[in-house]
Structure 1
Amino acid sequence: MRRQFGREQSFGMENLGDEPFFSEFRISNPASKSSYRVAIRGKGPGGNFCSCPDYATSELGTCKHIEFTLARLEKKRGAKKAFARGYQPMFSELYLRNDGRRSIHFRAGTDCPPALRKAAGELFDAGRNGLLPPERFVALDRFMALASRSGHELRAYDDALDFIAGCRDAENRALALDRIFPRGVDDPGLTKLLKVPLFPYQAEGVLFAVRAGRALIGDDMGLGKTVQAIAAMEILARHFGISKVLVVCPTSLKYQWHNEITRFSGRDTETIRVLSGGRAQRQKDYALEHFCKITNYEKLDTDLDLIAAWAPELVIVDEAQRVKNWNTIAARALKRIDSPFAVVLTGTPLENKLEELISIVQFVDQYRLGPTWKLLHEHQVKDEAGRVTGYTGLEKIGRTLAPVMIRRRKAEVLRQLPGRIDQNLLVPMTEAQMRYHRENADEVAKIVQRWRRTRYLSERDQRRMTCALQNMRMSCNSTYLLDQETDHGVKADELAALLDGLLAGPQAKVVVFSQWTRTHEIIARRLNARGLGHVSFHGGVPSDKRPALVERFRDDPACRVFLSTDAGSTGLNLQHASTLVNFDLPWNPAILEQRIGRIHRMGQTRPVQIVNLVAKGTIEEGMLSVLAFKRSLSAGILDGGSGEISLGGSRLTRFMKEVENVTGRMGQGETVAPTEEMTNGITMPADEASKDAEPAMAATIAPAGAAEASSRDGDADPWLAVARLGVQLIDLLTMPAASGAQAQLRIEQDPATGARSLKIPLPPPETVRRLADALSVLADRLRG
């Protein structure tokens, strides 16, 4: 096929040497604008050479470029006589062959001195085309030095020297690792590598990746592949001199990688750059000397020249199943990135077809599995019509991959895992979502400004702020929750991709929580498209029908996903699932723990994995940065309580301070909430997290404490607090006696502190707002 295809091409051809036939040629393809070096040594396959990827991996000993060159040469005068005489150069050659395995060979020239020829006979295996056995690589330097002293021309080609150098580097790296970590996975040096300790299986993965140089870590999801890659990166940086790392991941994970590298490694955030913006901006970013640059798959093809110029020494590829199709633009571009080290991460290296694994492994080691045609021929099972019906001999593939791939199932490392694993995934927002988010954020900002000016909020403003905060939160899921028409949002698609990995095991089941049933609708569309059975469990489901839904999820193998709201989850026992996804977080820690308690409970025999989807640059990310805000929120404010909630006194002050904090930190949040303790690339929940929840907030304004609270606030004016009490007192004294207000005025004593306070009922909220606004103006003038 290659011979036929090559002879039909219209490539460009340039002779780079002096010989008309047995020379080196540059073959250029005007269509792809690529060119390759072709060396012609004879007409048959095996002796010639081409620098193209197909020649390197096909094991055919030829390619379309070689065949095109031969076809052109055969038409030249004297070709028949030259090829009959054969290739007889005066110089000697050290070259690489790939006939099932890569090997180094020596060909003596006609002018080779006797002493050098004798040395070659002792070093190379003449009976096997001058093969150099790997165990004799160490003696090659002496042979080349002898050739240099003799004055004889010895041509050692780059691909041969690169192969030898790679083998030597691997040997030296293994020796260095044994010296640096003499106790292997139990060495105390590994515990000090990152800011978190590694589990034994993770330490094993780290040492495996560094020893291999280019490796695939195919552990199940939730076992901490990211932290293993970061630890391998740190070993290579500290002990093997690498200074340029490129991380390739899905767009939605770029900022998460930035955060996790800084958190685990302790490196300065300024040394790690997330590449974004247009081509001009990325060009500037690649010109800067960052230790690590983080890009996404979609930018690889357009930025290949920039990546090549920057020359990364380590490439980390996350979610590598994204390039399982070898013919995609991203897959082809990735395989053109040249680096001495690579760590490839995927929880699902093989999903449906053997070709998917081939595509991923080709980036790790393009020679490892051999040519695709040969691998499929050996392992595919076909019916009479030629349709693929299965695979055979897969254990042979496993043995072949063992030097470059490590894969652990959760069941294999069960005893090493904590009882609960938490993971936060940052998800980008669409522009349509951000419009809704910004509009409501502006509304919150106006109310916050009013609060700053008056230190008072009417019930109407409190309701408006609650509604705006709720809308901001809903916009993080999808615009569908707000308009019921469009469905702009990334979370549902990210969840669907996540489920591909979570449900890889035939027995795996997942619980997904969201506060809103409309979220269930958009998730259900994705599940239906993938053929994943599911049930939707919420407060609107009649009590007598709920047990049947739970039983179906528990007993039906086809029912893989359980969608639930907080309103419908009371009393649920779902420990037959071991993974819970919070599509949106409840910001009351007690409710979050209640959700997790559905699967993390007595009877659960497996480690529980919690995945939180968090919208990047939004109120959700801000919540992760401000733990106090989560603590100050009650179920009544954002988690489905009464719609008629009012706040007052010091609690209102604290609440407003946290609103200011969280809206001021949107886009600056951590990927993990401060209530959680990071270990091993796995988020461990704090033991006392559920105890931090505040009790429900007061349902009426209690202004008696306002003056005391304001006087304690460093930025509050005590005159305003006095003015507010004065307004209330004046209003009280002017109320008609028939209103009964006089009877409500009373003095109370706090039984715990002994402090006495005057309890005064409030006038209508609008009256208070107008009076407070007027008095605030007066107070401003007094300040002046």
Structure 2
Amino acid sequence: MRSKRGNTKSAIKPNREPKLSRSHAPADLSPVDWQRGLRRQFGREQAFGLENLTGEPFFSEFRVSNPASKSSYRVAIRGMGPGGNFCSCPDYATSELGTCKHIEFTLAKLEKKRGAKAAFARGYQPAFSELYLRNDGRRRLHFRAGTDSPPALREAAAALFEADHDGMLPDDRLGKLESFMAVASKSGHEFRAYDDALDFIAGRRDAERRAAKLNELFPLGAADPEVGKHLTVPLYPYQAEGALFAVRAGRSLIGDDMGLGKTIQAIAAAEILARHFGVTKVLVICPTSLKYQWQSEILRFSGRKGENAARVINGGRAQRQNDYRLDDFCKITNYEKLKPDLDLIADWAPDLVIVDEAQRVKNWNTIAARALKRIDSPYAIVLSGTPLENKLEELISIVQFVDQHRLGPTWKLLHEHQVKDEGGRVTGYTGLEKIGQTLAPIMIRRRKSEVLKQLPHRLDQNLLVPMTEMQMLHHQENADVVAKIVQRWRRTRFLSDKDQRRLTCALQNMRMSCNSTYLLDQETDHGVKADELAALFDDLFAEPKAKAVVFSQWTRTHDIVIRRLEARGLGYVSFHGGVPSDKRPALVERFRHDPACRVFLSTDAGSTGLNLQHASTLVNMDLPWNPAVLEQRIARIHRMGQTRPVRVINFVAKGTIEEGMLSVLAFKRSLSAGILDGGSGEISLGGSRLNRFMKEVENVTGSMGESEAVTPTEEVGNSIAAADDAGPAVGSKADSDIDAGDVAYTNGPMVPRSDPGSDPWLALAQVGAQFVAALAAANDPKAPAHPWIERDQATGVRSLKMPLPPPETARQLADALSSLADSLRGRTA
């Protein structure tokens, strides 16, 4: 039970106050009085439920319940004024106002009771003594002696607490508190120490013990070789420093520049916490597209083996329930699953929560963001590579998850640091260096320029990304063709020219589907890679001079990437075989010398003969079949004259032909260059060349692994996460329950994109065709799985779940159906 005590003897004011604006402070009120007034105004308008939990009529503890949100909080009333009462709600804990809407609602109800005025005039005078926590800008412990307090307890309290400051305990006397509480427990007098006060004491003691043990374990600090002893790869000094910082802080934010290895720092910290501080359960929360990447890197860096080392949470509710019951060291889930799985996560009770790509949750007032803040764990590590100095509202909410008290209340922080024009519009921020100093104990941030000498000359990274349901359909259809041809070859050791052409085409289609369905139909755009690339650019181009080279075998990949670049106002050039030779030098010169040109898009036509050292990041949207082509791509930036470390990122679709190619890439050197990299569909192979080729096909398709496609909602969520228009800043819509999946239909999986002026009857026909195909799949047990068909594992009942179309398409469909209905009514009239 949490409580705070006060002895405020103020008269009860009539509930007739002028209406306060929620956006503009009155000139005659201080910011504190304005914020308190807003809570008083809002609380007294509510229809909450109120239950008295003790026999005391006024100075009691109450349960205040909200029937709309089905939430309830404990409220302790000790006086009419702010500071002495208590509520267990988050607003009271962080606002530093000494009140909240639940307290104000309770006071309004009590004011109407007979005897209230006299009771509050006498004030709160309990017989018992109590230790409680107050937050008046700083959290401090306070002691109040009860009317029956024995002399020995009063004497011990006088030596420890400052009577002139309402019984406050100075920070430097915290170590003496334990002996005082021993005196209180032996006195026979009723002594209450409330939960929030005990949590505060425990947190301070844990931090002191953790720091002492780290000094004992790693006396040389980041230079101590024991820091990364349990990892499979050595840590760079700054990475060891980051891991130790996270452990020492307990709950921390690692805000290093992109490419500095935040993931391995978090894994290293998790291993230290697991081996020395009792952590046995780690929950990783990340975007859907990064779940398998996290699983891969945990297994790779931690050295842990088996499926219990790192489990990706997937599937329906029943499967997720089973997954959370399993005894795993690490479970990996995505933002969209937080709210529906809060009960499962609470039952599993993680010791450490790692939140990756925190900056992707652009609007921290979403259901997913608020669900994240409800996850309780002793330790937390938040990873974000986006500079935070100019995004104050986002920073506030991210830090609130790490340490809800660190920055103080949002209203106060914005009042002190926002710069507004005469109309009240925010035009900038001031005094940000003070915020940096406040965050120093919990946030560590290093830029590449600071650790340049520690970085490797070249860092290769394979990023595993999931497929969407529509991609998997295309991929599986072509995989079935490949499987049949491979079986035929196994029986006869011979393939006709027709089968060879079909095989080459099917393999190409499998690879193209890994990028986006657009490469196959030039209409839809279902895929994760382009949005992951856009999110990577959001981080990378926070550095003003950063440039990147992006390779793909297909120019249609350029098309979907260009959409993301233009949406962000990023300059680019597109270099491919269709560009005339006399125009190519100008493209290269623009990329080299134009500061606004940030991205060089290239097919393998640009993999040789180009010097692009102005970029230090190279992204392969798809892997070439031949490893020599891959090295030619990398050589465009990793060559003589490059002065910065080079980062090579390969996007690899999980559970597809690309993962198979990755696993056997080293064995491709015997193949003829170009057989699947732009080669003709008329290729005819025979003899040993055909045998080698078919063995490679078997190796690749047999090494694809397994993957679960992202759902339509998660696909939409990835698009939103990678965009800049995901919603208002913190506080712009109070008590909002908007989630990404509730409001956005962009890139939805239902119908192809179409221009606003396109034929609505065509859109209707497209939807109808897809609907009929889904029904056919539902009625044919031999038909391949369809993403709209779901089967209940318990009952076996199948259901059809149709994702909503984009808003513009929905409008077209509505117009078309309305027109049809009007026409039918006209015929029957």
Aligned counterpart, 2:321: 283
Contact 1:621 1:668 in 2 (8 A): no
Residue in 1 that maps onto 2:353: 315
Match 1:96 to one of 133, 142, 155: 133
What is the CA–CA distance in structure 1 between the aligned matches of 2:526 and 2:102, rounded to whole Å?
48
Match of residue 185 from structure 1: 222
SS at match of 1:252: helix
* Structure 1 residue 344 corresponds to structure 2 residue 382: yes
1:164-563 to 2 correspondence within 5 Å? 164-271=201-308, 272-350=310-388, 353-563=391-601
1:664 and 2:705 aligned: no
1:45 and 2:99 aligned: no
Aligned residues with identical type, % of pairs: 83
Q: Give, in whole Å, the separation in 1 of the partners of 2:376 and 2:468.
A: 33
Aligned-residue offset at 1:409: 0.7
What is aligned with 2:27?
none
Maintained 8 Å contact 1:27/1:37:
yes
Please state if 1:111 is matched with 2:148.
yes
SS of aligned partner of 1:188: coil
What letter is aligned with 1:265? S
Task: Return the alpha-carbon distance in structure 1 between the equivalents of residues 413 and 93 of structure 2.
Answer: 16
Displacement of 1:282: 1.0
1:408 counterpart SS class: coil
Residue 85 of structure 1 aligns to which amino acid in structure 2? R
Q: Secondary structure, in 3 states, of the residue corresponding to 1:327?
A: coil
Report how far residue 648 of structure 1 moved: 3.6
Distance in 2, matches of 1:479 and 1:242, equals 43
The structural deviation recorded for 1:138 is 2.1
Counterpart of 1:735 in structure 2 is none
Specify the SS of the correspondent of 2:227. Answer: helix
Alpha-carbon distance between aligned partners in 1 of 2:409 and 2:387, rounded to the nearest angstrom: 18
Contact (CA 8 Å) 1:15, 1:24: kept in 2 or not?
Answer: yes
C-alpha contact (below 8 Å) 1:629/1:659 kept by paired residues: no
Mapped pair 1:639 → 2:677: yes
- Contact 2:390–2:429 (CA under 8 A) maintained in structure 1: no
Secondary structure of 2:198's counterpart equals: helix
Structure 2 SS opposite 1:334: helix
Structure 1 position 452, deviation (Å): 1.0
In 2, the alpha carbon distance for the partners of 1:149 and 1:577 equals 71
Amino acid at match of 2:700: V
- 2:636 match: 598
Secondary structure of the 2:381 match is: strand
**How far off is 1:349 after superposition?**
4.9
Structure 2 unaligned blocks of 5 or more: 1-37, 708-829
Residues 566, 627 of structure 1: CA spacing in aligned structure 2 closer, same or farther, 3 A cutoff?
closer
Distance in structure 2 (CA, Å) of the matches to 1:551 and 1:50: 64
* Between 26-35 and 499-508, the greater mean CA deviation after superposition: 499-508
State the superposition RMSD in angstroms.
1.4
1:369 is paired with a residue of what secondary structure?
A: coil
**What is the CA distance between 1:284 and its match in structure 2?**
1.7
Letter in 2 for 1:652: L
* Cα distance in structure 1, aligned partners of 2:654 and 2:577: 29
Q: How far apart, CA to CA, are the structure 1 residues paired with 2:235 and 2:681?
A: 47
Query: How many angstroms apart in 1 are the aligned matches of 2:41 and 2:161?
Result: 36
Maintained 8 Å contact 2:295/2:312: yes
Deviations 1:689-723 (A, max 9, x none): xxxxxxxxxxxxxxxxxxxxxxxxxxxxxxxxxxx
Aligned to 1:626, what secondary structure does the other structure show?
helix
Whole-Å separation in 2 of the counterparts to 1:370 and 1:334: 19
Letter in 1 for 2:296: N
SS of alignment partner, residue 131 of structure 1? coil
Q: Equivalent residue of 2:675, what SS?
A: helix
Q: Secondary structure at the match of 1:635?
A: coil
Code of the aligned partner of 1:187: D
Q: Residue 576 of structure 1 is aligned with which of 588, 603, 614?
A: 614
SS in 1 for 2:42: helix
The alpha carbon displacement at 1:464 in A equals 2.1
Kept in 1: contact 2:628–2:669 (CA 8 A): no
Aligned counterparts of 2:538 and 2:389: Cα–Cα separation in 1: 9
Partners of 2:692 and 2:161 in 1: CA distance: 81
Tell me if structure 2 keeps the 8 A contact 1:91–1:154. Answer: yes
Distance 1:2 1:638 in 2: 66
Larger radius of gyration: 1
Q: Give the whole-Å Cα distance in 1 for the aligned partners of 2:314 and 2:622.
A: 26
Residues of 2 paired with 1:484 and 1:560: CA distance?
Answer: 26
- Mean CA deviation greater in 198-207 or 624-633: 624-633
**Alpha-carbon deviations, 1:632-676, whole Å to 9, x = none?**
44322111245443334434323222211211121259xxxxxxx
- Assess if the C-alpha contact under 8 Å between 2:468 and 2:526 holds in 1: yes
Cα distance change, pair 623–203 in 1 and its aligned pair in 2 (3 A): same
Aligned partner of 1:61 in structure 2 is: 98
Q: 1:159 aligns with which of 172, 196, 202?
A: 196
Residue 513 of structure 1: how far off its partner (Å): 0.7
What is the rounded CA distance, in whole Å, between the counterparts of 1:481 and 1:668 in structure 2?
23
Cα displacement (A) at 1:19: 1.2
CA distance in 1, matches of 2:556, 2:472: 19
Separation (CA, whole Å) in 2 of partners of 1:69 and 1:104: 25
Deviations 1:590-617 (A, max 9, x none): 1111111111111111111111111111
Shift of 1:352: 5.4
Structure 1 stretch displaced more, 151-160 or 351-360: 351-360
The separation in 2 between residues aligned to 1:447 and 1:191, in whole angstroms, is 49
Q: 1:467 to 1:351 in 2, by over 3 A?
A: farther
CA shift at 1:276, angstroms? 0.7
- Matched length: 669
The offset of 1:263, in angstroms, is: 1.3
Contact residue 471 and residue 526 of structure 2 kept, 8 A? yes
CA distance in 2, matches of 1:534, 1:188: 44
Q: For 1:29, give the aligned amino acid.
A: N
Which of 175, 197, 203 does residue 138 from structure 1 map onto? 175
CA distance in 2, matches of 1:134, 1:232: 29
How far, CA to CA, are the matches of 1:102 and 1:481 in structure 2? 58
Q: State how far apart, in whole Å, the 2-side matches of 1:287 and 1:118 are.
A: 52
Give the Cα–Cα distance (whole angstroms) in 1 for the partners of residues 369 and 567 of structure 2.
Answer: 25
Shift of 1:242: 1.0
